[in-house]
Structure 1
């Protein structure tokens, strides 16, 4: 998903600092929700780019619109329409291209609506000097920081501001949080949280699916479906815990992904594992 492929040349001479990398993302993308707020009328063709999964195809669209370097200013009409997953994918792709360990995380932001946990994606990268994984929200440009009254550094998001899906699942299952507080728009509940657990688990295996992908494997259910039996819920507990313990149990995550067919995405997607 994050390999630039034939468009790797666009990643030539990338800056080294995280702030500049995030500015590149923000310079080349516009969030679909922000476009609507700014009364930008999106054509059907521009909106359809939300369905693009791999970064290589997104880079192809960007190059078609403006063949200049990614650092060259792009007006709103030239930017790729995306969402939080796409902003994250872009950043993670650049970091991996620079051989910096990075991963996408799916979960919930606490900073968009008071009292709610909003479906969201962020990136994480390994800071060798500090010997820790640092969470980055590349979507939070100065305008977003002001709009949402963000008080933390988007380049080092605190763990209490972004709740990874596995942590959210545990909070809901132990009655420490209301499942209906987790979601986006009119979608919410424990089924929704489980969907994000699957997305996060897949992302930790470098399969960064779209926020609405479903209808197969562990995602073959509707939000309105009854919850599964307790035995299945305990299996979900196990999977969620693996994502929470990813730093200590990465080998287990990889092994379980490889052995569990319920994680296999549809073959017609043509996804090649990295």
Structure 2
């Protein structure tokens, strides 16, 4: 399993831009700083003094690391060891910070993966749609969750009082964790989402995106497949049974890795449509 997460998937492979990974630090805080020096969050841009044009906002739709790195290189051809000024960073969101760090970690030989779910530290009383990174710490023998988006500015604005390089339990819920809590009645699904989008259907989408991410397909937050619902769609009992099974797999620990992979490969509705291109 660890070897699987050491290897790039289609989204995290830097392709011809691997040269940009030269001379980078190998520690987690250092790699987070590299990520923060290359990506500008679309919703935080004004906080860094950048007014984004509509054209630049489209960069948030770049799916693959190779494309992200191509955009960065087009603005500044130097390696990622050189932090860019905010206006020279690629425009992205939490998913992009996460796959960026995953890509850097895999290049350094760390087992790493992106997780999709909900963060509790952006809006009090809300579970906000979010992505983070997990990496395997050999010394501690556990997966450690990292929020690569939280730089010094965001830590101050959000009044974060915990280490973003080792998220305390409960600060971030994976899609599967949120789904199970909502299904049991322990969490109100209406508190889960972003902007004016919320509810169990939204949790359902993040559950499936997290499942795909564990299979190394880290889709965009708005990419959907046939098992993801909408706000007005009814969910059949068969679909609930499948979603509950997925939630059990994604929250069941490393012993569920084999079944997670086999279910993903055997059920077409859990993957992206055949005509979808990353």
The aligned counterpart of 1:120 is 130
1:250-265 to structure 2, matched below 5 A, reads 250-265=257-272
Cα deviation code 1:217-272 (max 9, x no counterpart) = 212x322323x13342122111111100141210100000000010221344445x
Cα deviation code 1:21-43 (max 9, x no counterpart) = 00001001110010145563212
The answer (yes or no) to whether the contact 1:123–1:137 under 8 Å persists in 2 is yes
1:73-112 to structure 2, matched below 5 A, reads 73-112=83-122
Cα deviation code 1:105-134 (max 9, x no counterpart) = 001001111111000000000011111110
Structure 2 CA distance for aligned equivalents of residues 39 and 77 of structure 1: 8
The aligned counterpart of 2:177 is 167
The aligned counterpart of 1:196 is 206
The answer (yes or no) to whether the contact 2:34–2:83 under 8 Å persists in 1 is no
More deviation, 69-78/17-26: 69-78
Q: 1:114 to 1:95 in 2, by over 3 A?
A: same
Structure 1 CA distance for aligned equivalents of residues 239 and 95 of structure 2: 28
Structure 1 CA distance for aligned equivalents of residues 19 and 47 of structure 2: 34
The answer (yes or no) to whether the contact 2:21–2:81 under 8 Å persists in 1 is no
1:234-253 to structure 2, matched below 5 A, reads 234-253=241-260
The match for 1:144 among 154, 157, 175 is 154
Q: 1:209 to 1:63 in 2, by over 3 A?
A: same
- In the alignment, is residue 217 of structure 1 matched against residue 217 of structure 2? no
- In the alignment, is residue 42 of structure 1 matched against residue 49 of structure 2? no
The aligned counterpart of 1:14 is 24
TM-score, normalisation: structure 2? 0.93
Structure 2 CA distance for aligned equivalents of residues 7 and 238 of structure 1: 38
Q: Which runs of 5+ in 2 are unaligned?
A: 1-10
The answer (yes or no) to whether the contact 2:147–2:167 under 8 Å persists in 1 is yes
The answer (yes or no) to whether the contact 1:246–1:253 under 8 Å persists in 2 is no
Q: Which runs of 5+ in 1 are unaligned?
A: none
